[in-house]
Amino acid sequence: MLKPHRNNYDVIIAGGGPAGASAAIHLARGGVRVLLVEQKKFPRAKLCGEFISPECQAHFEKLGVAGAMVASAPALIDETVFYSSKGHHIAVPSKWFTGNRPAYGLSRSLMDEVLLRSAQENGVIVYENASITEPLVDRERVAGVRVKVNGEHHDFRAPITIDATGRARILSRKLAHENAKRPTLVAFKAHLKQTKVAAGACEIYFYPGGYGGLSTVESGTSNLCFIIAAENVKRCNSDPNVVLRRCVMNNPRAAETLETAEVSSEWLSASWERFGRQRPSPAPGLLAIGDSAAFIDPFTGSGMLMAFESGELVAQVVLRHRRDSASDLEADYTANYRRAFDSRLRICGLIRRAAFSPRLAELCIAICGASERFRNRLARSTRAQSKSHNFLPHNSLLE
């Protein structure tokens, strides 16, 4: 039984993925009393490309989990290779982003478990298998959440609540009484054995109606994650194996690498409505991070990076607000969020059209193949523009 006097916190975070867990760690280290509520019991499988871009290693070091990540024996990914539906390809070396560091191929079940347990070790109170039934609102300001834990409902209160529930945007949707729209896209993910993916490569395949990625994770397993138009999935009777054969393997390179593959896990699937930015602060007292704030296109390979960056950013803003309570928390966070992420989201929006059109994808690959300098600049434009990993002005950084 939870005791009422323990139900007040400084910050409540909904969602224990990379964004939520990293924000919790940064906040707890800053002396903040944090409650993290997670719907699932970790470790758990997660629909994801499981590509950890090289820049994430700097975040692992800040969070104190770099050693644990290395101990998980991730695959090392030296380049991302994009294949058109006609078989043409271009490569983007991982070293373009952080000098000589490779990207990691690491399953979400392992990475997220390390992060969540680290949050607990740093003093964060974590409830798993806990469902948020509704946000608590006091005078038009979010003041906490109502949570169902072990069949019982409990109210947890805090002046600041953070939505880190991913694309589901659970708190934001409940506040806006927003109904789910008809999905236009469906994503599938599974672990495979006996693929022919190139060693040290993440391979991206374009095909009519979508694109997918294949790369190695720990233990020599390959992770396949692909996205496809919902209408194509319907024509395949929503069977991922049929979608794989009829759609993904239309790409000649995908047909080659997946010819002998065997599925070694359950298929995971999710319906998607849209990419791009949501509101960084959906309501007074509520801030959004990770995919809850913006869902960047998977072909960039920077989704995980944005999770860590936004987790760090929200912690910086909250800690600064605690030192200067006269500042407008929501406006401060929104301004810093837009400064950090709007440029790359805008550029990704322009590239997105090509990702879903084989003809345009072919053209883009041809253009990028003709100029390494252009390819380098385009790849970097999907990341932070600043060389610094800090987001706030110098005098407001964590000390």
Q: What is the per-residue pLDDT for 385?
A: 62
Q: What is the per-residue pLDDT for 50?
A: 97
Q: Are the C-beta atoms of 34 and 160 separated by less than 8 Å? A: no
Q: What is the per-residue pLDDT for 276?
A: 78
Q: Which CATH number does 4-180+275-384 carry?
A: 3.50.50.60
Average confidence (pLDDT) per 10 residues, the chain, 399 residues: 61 98 98 97 96 96 97 97 94 90 96 98 97 94 94 95 94 82 90 97 96 96 96 95 96 97 96 83 96 92 95 97 83 96 91 88 93 92 64 42
Q: How many helices (H) and strands (E) in the chain?
A: 13, 21
Q: What is the per-residue pLDDT for 396?
A: 39
Total-model pTM: 0.92
Over residues 164-211, the pLDDT tens digits come to 999 989 998 899 877 667 788 999 999 999 999 999 999 999 999 999
Element (H, E) at 160: strand 160-163
Element (H, E) at 40: none
Pick from 330, 335, 340: which is nearest to 296 by CA? 340
**Looking at residue 178, what DSSP letter applies?**
P
Residue ranges covered by each domain of the chain: 4-180+275-384
Over residues 41-97, the pLDDT tens digits come to 999 999 999 999 999 999 999 999 999 999 999 999 999 999 999 989 999 999 999
Q: What is the per-residue pLDDT for 390?
A: 53
Q: What is the per-residue pLDDT for 176?
A: 83
Distances (CA, A) of 176 to 71, 166, 182, 334: 43, 16, 17, 18
Q: What is the per-residue pLDDT for 2?
A: 40
Q: What is the per-residue pLDDT for 192?
A: 98
Q: What is the per-residue pLDDT for 397?
A: 38
Cross-strand pairs, 13: 36, 162
Q: What is the full DSSP assignment across 127-172?
A: E-SEEEEEEEEETTEEEEEEEEETTEEEEEE-SEEEE--GGG-HHH
Q: What is the per-residue pLDDT for 94?
A: 95
